[in-house]
Amino acid sequence: MNRSSRKMANTGLFFKVLEYNRFMFSGAGMRKKGSVL
C-alpha cells in the first residue's frame, strides 16, 4: 500500500516537472533562457 501510494505521489511530481519544463521551453522560457540550448 505505502509503496503504491508513494509511486503515485512521485508520478504526480514527475508530471508537475514535465509541465514546468514545457512552460520553460515554450515561448517565454525560450526568450529568457535561449542561451542554455
| Residue 22 burial (C-beta neighbours within 10 Å; 0-12, 13-18, 19+) | exposed
At 25, give phi and psi (nearest 5°). Answer: -95, 5
Q: What is the pTM of this model?
A: 0.45
pLDDT digits (tens, 9 = 90+) for 1-37: 567 888 888 899 999 999 888 887 776 656 666 555 5
Joined together, the cell numbers standing for residue 2 give 505505502
- Domain locations in the chain? 2-36
**Secondary-structure breakdown of the chain: helix, strand, coil percentages, each rounded to the nearest 5:** 90, 0, 10
